[in-house]
Structure 1
Amino acid sequence: MAITPGTAREAGVFEAQADGRADDVTVRLTCYTADYSGVLKSNSEIAEFACGAALP
């Protein structure tokens, strides 16, 4: 797959306690959305893809 240039935008930043770590350890995930061409495939740590609602 290939990201369409100029279409990436931030979808949100999420923070949560790190699983299995001390209470003061957090994980920050910055998510993006973009137009793309090709086929999305899962591998490594990504078990599956699910489509959600489009962002405004």
Structure 2
Amino acid sequence: DDPTGPFGNKALGEPPAIPVAPAIRNAVLNATGVAVDSLPLDPQKLVAHFKAAELI
């Protein structure tokens, strides 16, 4: 059985949000060569990884 909303609709808000973080992570990897393997990708974490890679 597949539950639906009150008018027979289904939620569609979650799927577009799922690939955003991996896409940003891959963009950082492609641009800098630095692989960040934990979320969230906040500025402090990125700066720490960039310093460890001697980019800044």
TM-score grouping bracket, smaller chain normalisation: under 0.3
Structure 1 or 2: more helix by fraction: 2
Relative contact order, higher structure (CA 8 A, sep 6+): 1
- Choose 1 or 2 for highest CA Rg: 2
TM-score, scaled relative to structure 1: 0.21
Higher strand share: 1
Q: TM-score, normalised by structure 2?
A: 0.21
